[in-house]
Amino acid sequence: MSTVAATLPKPNTALKESGYIGRIPVRNLWLLMLYASDLFRQLDEVSQVAVEDNPDDIPDLVAEILSTQVEQRIKRNLSFGYQTRETTLNRVRGRIDLLKTEHHRLLDKGKVFCRFDELTVDTPRNRFVRSALEEISKLVKRQSLGHRCRSIANSLRRMGVVGEKPGHAEVSIDRFGRHDAIDRKMVAAAHLAFNLALPTESAGTKYLSLPDREITWIRKLYEKGIAGFYDVTLSGQGWRIEAGKSIGWAVEQKSSGIDKIFPSMRTDITLNHEISGRRVIIDTKFNSIVTKGWYRDETLRSGYIYQIYTYLRSQEGLGDPLADKATGILLHPSIGSMLNESVSIQGHEIRFATVDLSAETKMIRHQLWQVLEASHED
């Protein structure tokens, strides 16, 4: 990740001027990082940035991400931890506190006072996350989202996470090991819920690392950010989101050595809705959606059209009804103007759309929703 000094223009870098990556205007990479759930990777670095308090619908955005992360952890079982307990028992467990045992004459009753470590889900980390859900449920604008956060918090209580919110000291000393690294995203989202601030890329008084604007890294971040947006906004509505899914060719015959050289296919984002029978394949490209043509000033890039067409047509007739009528979307960042057009080819809609990454958070969300809704309306 870059430091403040590294944000200045340098030769042979993608950053040409403030707010641009190549020719593409980008207002705040932190938004993509937030949806990509990579924010936790930035918390240990030290560069000064400013923060933008409660821009647009940040409480709702953070609540979506936090609730999604916690639901995923509940499905895989919460992390356990050891908690020291002191109590009177009928048998010895851990260490005996002789002073308290003798003082209360517990031996006469066949009991002992013991101090021991107990494995529990009621850890400071899980209590911190539950408290974040309860807190942000009071701030979100959408009632359904507030209910979702409270419902997840109640689920944590039923699972045994019943203690009070931990103090700052307990949270600050929490460290992740290899066995519980999966909790990082959930805890990072909980921190955001309490802070409710979206960092900017301007110099300020808060300490975080600045996102690297190297274009290869941004391409991957753009893909993950778009996938993350649809994951946190659609997963609770019956949609199943798959990022980086490999799909196969309908091979009928093959020679002995073809497997060594034949390319595989991998889609960027696949959205499935079994109830409505919809499948949407989104291919993200971090460049201009149009280029200069032979006989016109602007034309869509034919290579990208061939690619999305292949994704759609190659999966037909394989016994998957969602594949037979799937929709394809080529989603680019906008450069100067917006585009949202479509064409239907052999039973498949292919949409060509852009999103303005220089817009405010609320507008970016609206544009991404609009792209998906337009494909359904057509």
Give 309-336 pLDDT, tens digit per residue: 999 999 998 889 999 999 999 999 999 8
The Cα 221–Cα 38 span in angstroms is 9
Confidence of residue 189 (pLDDT cuts 50, 70, 90): confident
Q: What is the average pLDDT across 340-357? A: 94
The listed range with the strongest mean pLDDT (39-43, 204-208, 298-302) is 298-302
Which DSSP string corresponds to 234-258?
HGGGTEEEEEEEEE----S---TTG
Confidence of residue 17 (pLDDT cuts 50, 70, 90): very low
The Cα 218–Cα 238 span in angstroms is 30
CA-closest candidate to residue 365, choices 173, 86, 191, 142: 142
The Cα 341–Cα 332 span in angstroms is 12
Phi, psi values for residue 280, rounded to 5°: -125, 120
The Cα 352–Cα 300 span in angstroms is 9
Confidence of residue 273 (pLDDT cuts 50, 70, 90): very high
Which residue has tokens 């938004």?
31
Confidence of residue 201 (pLDDT cuts 50, 70, 90): low
pLDDT at 127 over 90: yes
Q: Select the more confidently predicted residue: 152 or 174.
A: 152
Which DSSP string corresponds to 315-337?
TTTSS-HHHHT-EEEEEEE-SSS
The CATH code of domain 215-257+264-377 reads 3.40.1350
- At residue 51, the 3 state secondary structure works out as strand
By the 8 A CB rule, do 301 and 291 touch? yes
By the 8 A CB rule, do 189 and 69 touch? yes
Amino acid at residue number 112:
V
At 40, list the tokens: 């936790």
Q: Domains of the chain: which residue ranges?
A: 42-76+123-207, 85-120, 215-257+264-377
- What is the spatial order of strands in the sheet that 239-247 belongs to? 239-247, 265-273, 278-284, 327-333, 348-355, 340-345
